[in-house]
Structure 1
Amino acid sequence: MQDQNAASIEPMEDSLSPLELRVRAGYYQLLAGAFVEEPGRDYLAALRAPEVLAELDLQFDTDVTEMSLDRLQDVLACEYATLFTTSGGCPPVESSRLTGRFQQEPFHDVKAIYQRCGFELQPGKFAAFEDQLGVELTFVAVLLENQAAALERGDMAMAKRLEKEIRRFWATHLGRWVRGYATLLERVTEHSFYREIARLLRDFAEAELALLKVKVDDVDGGREVVAKSEINVLFNPDEPVCGGCDHGKQENRVVA
């Protein structure tokens, strides 16, 4: 099981308004857009708007600011593949960052959380694991939108439950890996787009943890190489797997 001893959640002093919650949700969605799939043309155009650059304090180089949107989209598609999908890259996936393998305990845990909260993974250009960074950020954005709606209709119990869900998710998932991962991405990327997105992600994570009164160790640590954890054996290694044993025969009957 995950070690939760290094995390603590303190009482929050003030509740946020629906408007403030939706502003925060917008930041989550903005960051998610850089990771869930290759940045699209509309996303890049919005991010390059002078007022957005000023508000977010993004210091893009000319490889972003002076390149045509079509060319920039193509260049970032290559950078996205190099960083996140090819061998030797640094995929933005919690299981990979914390265990060195995909679909480990963090994956199964967030999948159960999504199911409990009624959050469904939306199909996109690429298939994504439930513990992929863009998906986890989108999940919190949805919770914030739901919390704002609950406040507007006067459902304080639901608003508090959603707030608790968000804080717990930072303590058990996002807080354990996004800060370290952001420092790694900032170091290894060759393009100022992901350098600045990584810096924004790190600063945003620190601000959210402070706002939510969550203290949790950065387990990721920005490691370039993550040792593969041992895989728990979920079957008897001495049992035949050819279908000749009683268990195998039973499984075959079920399939048939």
Structure 2
Amino acid sequence: MLKTVLKIEDGDAEEVGAGETAAVLASPAETAADCRSRAGVYRLLSGVFVEEPTGEFIEALRTPAVLAELAEAGLRFDADFLTTPQDMLLEALAIEYTTQFAASGGFPPVESVRLTGRYKQQPNFDTMQTYKRLGFVLQPGRFEVFADQLGIELMFVAELLERGATALEQGDAVTHRRLEKEIKRFWTQHLGRWVRGYSRLIERTAEHSFYREMARFLGGFAAEEIEAMSLRIEDTDQARLEVPKDEIRVEFNPNEPVCNGCMTDALSTTLSAPDNVRRLEEMRGLNKLHDLRDPG
């Protein structure tokens, strides 16, 4: 799937004889291009799950070139996506999004909900701290967005890949390796624990072929990313229809002041590092991973 979507060419690879070992090392330019291609897939999937799709997003997906790419990747949309008039399609997708992801009885694309049965649990706080540590903060959009929402987590990895590509293009291999480790850590601690099972659940329960096929695409992409990074991660989600609610754990010290200015010097230094001075906007402009030093 990835080879088709990311346009990874086999090239004119030489045949390897018996007993020989092939070691193919990509150049920095090739690795940077691969990072940006992967980031594009993360952004696409982020746009699918972060909220109900816009007309511009759907129009772009239904162009012949993009549909051909997705078909080569194994996606098989039905007529409900391919031939339905745009206004009717947008209405149908908005209803499906609400029913599947937002309404009571649905399956919210939120890590805390999938792993603990509740919103704003430890995964939400942990992802927020990771974003801050690397110089990003989630900006509010039209609706409340959780730090551990699927679209936000995917967008975060896309931004790290973009940073890594830029570092390579500037000859900074050290920064690229550091960002690679951050991506692996984020997959191990977050995405890898729930995305595969969740994608199977949505593929099974979606009524509209758009969400069914995009969920299948997400599952295949996640499996290939995990394999490519040589990670071993348990699928904690397990595509459960019902997730038991964990006991609520409240940690509160009544003697500790409540304020907005309790950032440590170490964290402040980390967030003001030169390589963190870059504004990062969410793909569809409604929510932003925003550099903390950008006044906009």
- The reply to whether TM is greater than 0.5 is yes
- Offset at 1:111? 0.5
Please identify runs of 4+ aligned residues in structure 1 that moved more than 6 A.
none
- For 1:107, the equivalent position in structure 2 comes to 124
* Aligned amino acid, residue 49 of structure 2: F
Higher helix share: 1
**Code of the aligned partner of 1:52:** V
Letter in 2 for 1:83: Q
Shift of 1:69: 1.4
Identity over aligned pairs, percent:
53
Deviation at 1:126, TM superposition (A): 2.3
Tell me the residue number matched to 1:10. none
Q: Distance in 1 between matches of 2:160 and 2:228?
A: 16
* Corresponding residue pairs, total: 229
User: Mean alpha-carbon deviation: is it higher for 198-207 or for 227-236?
Assistant: 227-236
Q: How many angstroms apart in 2 are the aligned matches of 1:18 and 1:167? A: 17
Contact 1:37 1:126 in 2 (8 A): no
Whether the 8 Å contact between 1:184 and 1:223 is mirrored in structure 2 is yes
Q: Do residues 44 (structure 1) and 61 (structure 2) align?
A: no
Q: What's the Cα RMSD here?
A: 1.9
- Are 2:40 and 1:26 equivalent residues in the alignment? yes
Picking from 251, 257, 261, the partner of 1:234 is 251
Alignment partners' CA distance in 2, 1:125 and 1:207: 33
Task: Work out the CA distance in 2 between the residues paired with 1:235 and 1:24.
Answer: 41
Q: Secondary structure at the match of 1:34?
A: helix
User: CA 1:140–1:235 in 2, change beyond 3 Å: closer, same or farther?
Assistant: closer
- Displacement of 1:50 in angstroms is 2.2
Shift of 1:67: 0.8
Q: Does 1:72 pair with 2:89? A: yes
**Paired residue for 2:210, among 170, 176, 193?**
193
Q: 1:180, 1:222 within 8 Å by CA — same for their partners in 2? A: yes
SS in structure 1 opposite 2:232? strand
Counterpart in the other structure of 1:55: 69
Question: What residue in structure 2 maps to residue 216 of structure 1?
Answer: 233
Q: How many angstroms does 1:49 deviate by?
A: 1.8
Conserved in 2, the CA contact under 8 Å of 1:31 and 1:137? yes
CA distance in 1, matches of 2:141, 2:61: 20
Shift of 1:60: 0.7
| Greater mean alpha carbon deviation, residues 225-234 or residues 138-147 | 225-234
Given that 2:199 and 2:218 are in contact with CA atoms closer than 8 Å, whether structure 1 keeps it comes out as yes
Aligned to 2:163: 146
SS in 1 for 2:53: coil
Matching residue's letter, 2:142: K
Normalised to the residue count of structure 2, the TM-score between the two structures is 0.74
1:161 aligns with 2:178: yes
Alpha-carbon distance in structure 2 between the residues aligned to 1:116 and 1:210: 26
Quote the offset at 1:56 in angstroms.
2.1
**One-letter amino acid matched to 2:51:** E
1:14 offset after TM fit, Å? 5.5
Give 2:34's aligned amino acid. E
Please give the per-residue CA displacement for 1:210-246, whole angstroms capped at 9, x wherever unaligned: 111111010000000000011224259xxxxxxxxxx
Q: Which residue of the partner structure matches residue 133 of structure 1?
A: 150
Q: CA deviation at 1:122?
A: 3.8
Q: What's the offset of the Cα at 1:41?
A: 0.9
Structure 2 contact 128–137 (Cα < 8 Å) conserved: no
Structure 2 residue runs without a partner (length 5+): 1-23, 259-296
Gaps of 5+ in 1: 1-12, 237-246
CA deviation digits over 1:129-188, x for unaligned, max 9? 000000000000000000000000011111111000001111110000000000000111
Distance in 2 (CA, whole Å) between partners of 1:154 and 1:64 is: 44
